[in-house]
A and B are shown apart, each in its own frame.
Chain A
Amino acid sequence: MKKIEAIIQPFKLEEVKEALKAIGIDGMTITEVRGHGRQKGHKETYRGQEYNVDLLPKVKVELVVTDGRFEEVTGAIANAARTGKIGDGKIFVYEVAEAIRIRNDDRGEAAL
Chain B
Amino acid sequence: MLVSAALVLMMTGPGLALFYGGLVRRKNVLSTMMHSFILMAVVTVVWAVVGYSLAFGGSGPFLGDLHFAFLNNVGSAPNPDYAATIPQQTFMIYQLMFAIITPALISGAFAERMKFSAMLLFTVLWLLLVYFPMAHMVWGKGGLLNAFSGGKVPTFDFAGGTVVHITSGVSALVCALYLGKRVGYPTVAMKPHSLVLSFIGACLLWVGWFGFNAGSALAASSLATSAFVATHFGAAAAALGWMAAEWMHNGKPSALGAISGCVAGLVAITPASGFVQPFPALLIGACAGVACYFMVVAVKAKFGYDDSLDAFGVHGAGGTLGAILTGIFATSLVNDGLKDAKGRVLPLGLVDGQGGQVLNQAIGCAVAWGLAIVGTLIILKICDMLIGVRVAKEEEMEGLDLSQHGEEGYIFEG
A residues with CB within 8 A of B = 44-49, 51
Closest to A47 in B: B296
Which single member of B191, B298, B300, B301 contacts A46 (CB below 8 Å)? B191
The CA-CA distance from A45 to B296 in the complex, in Å, is: 12
B residues with CB within 8 A of A = 186, 189-192, 250, 252, 254, 256-257, 260, 296-298, 300-301, 310
B108 to chain A, nearest CB (A): 12
Closest to B314 in A: A47
B297 to chain A, nearest CB (A): 3
Contact call A47/B191, Cβ cutoff below 8 A: no
Please name 24 pairs of A and B residues whose Cβ atoms are closer than 8 Å in the assembled complex, sorted by A.
A44-B191, A45-B250, A45-B252, A45-B254, A46-B191, A46-B192, A46-B254, A46-B256, A47-B256, A47-B257, A47-B260, A47-B296, A47-B297, A47-B310, A48-B250, A48-B296, A48-B297, A48-B298, A48-B300, A48-B301, A49-B186, A49-B190, A51-B189, A51-B191
Closest to A52 in B: B189
Majority secondary structure, A binding face: strand
Closest to A45 in B: B250
The CA-CA distance from A43 to B260 in the complex, in Å, is: 20
Q: Which residues of A contact B310 (CB under 8 A)?
A: 47
Q: Which residues of B contact A46 (CB under 8 A)?
A: 191-192, 254, 256
The CA-CA distance from A20 to B176 in the complex, in Å, is: 55
B29 to chain A, nearest CB (A): 16
Closest to B299 in A: A48
Q: Which residues of B contact A48 (CB under 8 A)?
A: 250, 296-298, 300-301
The CA-CA distance from A44 to B190 in the complex, in Å, is: 11
**5 closest Cβ contacts across the A-B interface?**
A48-B297, A51-B189, A47-B296, A45-B250, A46-B256
Q: Which residues of A contact B256 (CB under 8 A)?
A: 46-47
